[in-house]
């Protein structure tokens, strides 16, 4: 079976202006959402408490609310269904620092009389820990990008590195926008998903860039846009296929992985779609616009090859004892 039989080159770069416009609009929309609606930080980063309660039958949310009103500790607590009608999570801003009796225990006591229930999960994240996790999370994202930037600059050329980072920022921005749009709680797992998107999207970009590098080195054609079109077309089957297989598994994770993994899977789903798109329509055009000069690169390669040859010659001479 074949999705794309390589017969002719698609003119991707011809569509790049439209794509860039679309990307710009989407990125701006994401930022607008981030500013107006704001990210919904979960307990991991904002600090607070989450208590997951499972009832024998449908959870009596109204009765629970009534009970929670009795204690100011629960001020501003929200109760929402978690995957099924018999399971709910109570989220609140307050935390307690007593080890023996914590806010989870208080919740269990308070809910007494609302039916037969079991406390299945208690997450308490104190404010200092939350702030620390947030700081670490941002550091992780920045460091990962920096590491990637250095590696790609080393393996390819600085313009490739910058282009791939722009594509990554594009992907992360859109993913954050989508998260904000559906109002997902941003916890550690979402951060992990964002970092995975980083790795995944870069994978895609590098496969295309590798072809471009190969095209630039091998072909006599010095028109970069044609080389890019050719490279994207030749990798299109792979891009589609890998995206599809990854999409399959993440989709099953999203559907059947359970409520706890939901936010993680959702973020990844968005990331896979956006990442695939960006490696074709964001990273490559940027390379073009940065004025990557094929002729210049050829000259550089030639002089590099010359230097290598010179070195080799010296080495041979040295080994045969001429010097």
Partner 1 sequence: MKLNYRIVIFALAIIFGISFSVPSLLQTEQGKKITLGLDLQGGLHMLLGVKTEEATKSRIKSIAASVKHYAERKDVLIDHLVFDDSSVSFEVLDSDDLPKLKEYLAEIEGSDIVNIGELITLSLTPEEIIKTEKEAISQAIETIRNRLDQFGLAEPVVARQGEEKILVQLAGIKTQEEEQRARELISRAAKLELMAVDEDRAARVYAMSDTDAAEYGDVILEDAKNPAIKYLVREIPILDGGMLTDASMGFDQNNRPLINFKLNAEGAEIFGDFTGRSVGKRLAVVLDGKVYSAPNINERIGGGSGQISGSYTVMEAKDLAIALRSGSLLAPIYLMEKRSVGPSLGADSIKASLIALIGGFVLVIIFMIVYYRAAGVIANIALIANLFIILAVMSLFGATLTLPGMAGIVLTVGMAVDANVIISERIRELIYEGKSMHKAIEDGYSNAMRAILDANITTLIASVVLYAYGTGAIKGFAITMSIGILASMITAILGTHGIYQMLESKISKSKNNQFWFGIKG
Phi and psi of 161, rounded to 5°? -60, -50
Place of tokens 């018999």: 86
- Minimum CB–partner distance for residue 121 and partner 1 (Å): 5
Q: Which is nearer to partner 1, 36 or 100 (CB)?
A: 100
Give the single-character DSSP code of 113: T
- Minimum CB–partner distance for residue 212 and partner 1 (Å): 11
Instruction: Give the x-and-dash track for 181-220 against partner 1 (CB under 8 A).
Output: -------xx-xx--xx-xxx-xx--xx--xx--x------
- Lookup: tokens for 113: 């009389």
Q: CA-CA distance, 232 to 203, in Å (whole number)?
A: 14
Angle (CA) 96 261 98, round 5°: 10
Q: Does 124 bind partner 1 (CB under 8 A)?
A: yes
- Minimum CB–partner distance for residue 5 and partner 1 (Å): 8
Q: Does 301 bind partner 1 (CB under 8 A)?
A: no
Q: Does 60 bind partner 1 (CB under 8 A)?
A: no
Q: Which is nearer to partner 1, 73 or 188 (CB)?
A: 188
Q: Does 96 bind partner 1 (CB under 8 A)?
A: yes
Among 125, 216, 228, 270, binds partner 1 (CB under 8 A): 125
Applying CB under 8 A, the span of 28-36, 236-244, 285-293, 295-303 interacting with partner 1 comes to: 236-244
Q: Does 26 bind partner 1 (CB under 8 A)?
A: no
How many residues touch partner 1 (CB under 8 A)? 78
- Lookup: tokens for 97: 């620092």
Query: At CB < 8 A and 24+ separation, what contacts does 219-226 make?
Result: 221/294, 222/294, 222/295, 222/298, 223/294, 224/287, 224/288, 224/292, 224/293, 224/294, 225/13, 225/288, 226/9
Reduce the DSSP state of residue 85 to 3 states and report it: strand
Among residue numbers 5 through 24, which ones bind partner 1 (CB under 8 A)?
6
Q: CA-CA distance, 137 to 153, in Å (whole number)?
A: 24
């Amino acid at each position: 079976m074949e999705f794309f039989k390589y017969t002719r080159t698609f003119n991707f770069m011809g569509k790049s202006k439209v794509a860039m416009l679309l990307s710009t609009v989407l990125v701006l929309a994401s930022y607008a959402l981030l500013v107006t609606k704001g990210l919904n930080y979960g307990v991991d980063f904002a600090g607070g408490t989450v208590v997951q309660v499972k009832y024998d039958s449908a959870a009596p949310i109204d009765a629970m609310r009534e009970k929670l009103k009795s204690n100011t500790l629960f001020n501003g607590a929200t109760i929402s269904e978690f995957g099924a009608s018999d399971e709910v999570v109570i989220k609140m801003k307050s935390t307690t620092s007593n080890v023996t009796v914590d806010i989870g225990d208080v919740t269990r006591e308070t809910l007494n009389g609302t039916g037969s229930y079991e406390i299945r999960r208690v997450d308490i994240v104190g404010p200092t820990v939350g702030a620390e996790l947030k700081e670490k999370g941002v550091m992780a994202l920045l460091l990962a990008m920096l590491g990637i930037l250095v590696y790609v600059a080393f393996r390819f050329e600085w313009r490739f590195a910058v282009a791939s980072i722009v594509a990554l920022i594009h992907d992360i921005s859109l993913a954050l926008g989508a998260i904000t749009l559906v109002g997902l709680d941003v916890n550690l797992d979402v951060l992990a998903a964002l970092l995975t998107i980083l790795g995944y999207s870069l994978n895609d970009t590098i496969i295309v860039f590798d072809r471009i590098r190969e095209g630039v080195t091998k072909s006599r054609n010095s028109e970069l846009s044609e080389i890019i079109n050719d490279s994207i077309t030749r990798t299109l089957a792979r891009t589609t296929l890998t995206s599809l297989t990854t999409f399959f598994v993440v989709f099953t994770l999203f559907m059947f992985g359970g409520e706890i993994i939901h936010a993680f899977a959702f973020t990844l789903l968005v990331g896979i779609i956006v990442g695939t798109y960006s490696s074709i329509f964001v990273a490559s055009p940027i390379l073009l616009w940065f004025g990557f000069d094929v002729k210049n690169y050829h000259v550089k390669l030639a002089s590099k090859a010359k230097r290598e040859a010179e070195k080799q010659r010296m080495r041979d001479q040295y080994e045969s004892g001429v010097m």
